[in-house]
Amino acid sequence: MADAKTKIDEMVKSKDVVLFMKGTKAMPQCGFSSKVAGVLNYMGIDYSDVNVLEDADIRQGIKEYSDWPTIPQLYVKGEFVGGCDIITEMTLSGELDTMLEHNGVTYDKDAANKIREANA
């Protein structure tokens, strides 16, 4: 599992935004992963997707790495942000926008506003 931790650490730090999910951003394989990937895709965020279904060590290892029991898990600039519920709340409150801006991550502000308008 130490090997998985090293691998996960490298993945998390290799890109500004990384989503550990079931499936891929093009073909999510669970509703929660689909929801988070959908938000990131709609907002035009450049992110790396890691399909935990392809590697049991990564699937278990990411839960230990973050001390978070569920998938998906979003990381921005190497920091764990949260899972589906947290990302949804942060998107609707505008907190995700603030965090992305603070970390220099490019996203479509109009798309973020449309998500909030549609859920108002």
Q: Which fold has domain 2-118?
A: Glutaredoxin (3.40.30)
Side by side, the strands of the sheet bearing 48-51 are 48-51, 17-21, 73-76, 79-82
Q: What is residue 103's DSSP assignment?
A: T
Strands (E), the chain: 17-21, 48-51, 73-76, 79-82
* For range 3-21, the mean pLDDT: 95
* Tokens, residue 115: 């998500």
Is the model's pLDDT at 2 over the cut of 90?
Answer: no
Per-residue confidence band for 1, with pLDDT thresholds at 50, 70 and 90: low
pTM of the predicted model, to two decimals?
0.95
Is the Cβ–Cβ distance between 47 and 87 less than 8 Å? no
* For range 7-29, the mean pLDDT: 96
Per-residue confidence band for 120, with pLDDT thresholds at 50, 70 and 90: confident
Distance CA 88, CA 15 (A): 22
pLDDT per position as a tens digit, 62-107: 999 999 999 999 999 999 999 999 999 999 999 999 999 999 999 9
Query: Is there a binding annotation on residue 30?
Result: yes
Domain ranges of the chain: 2-118
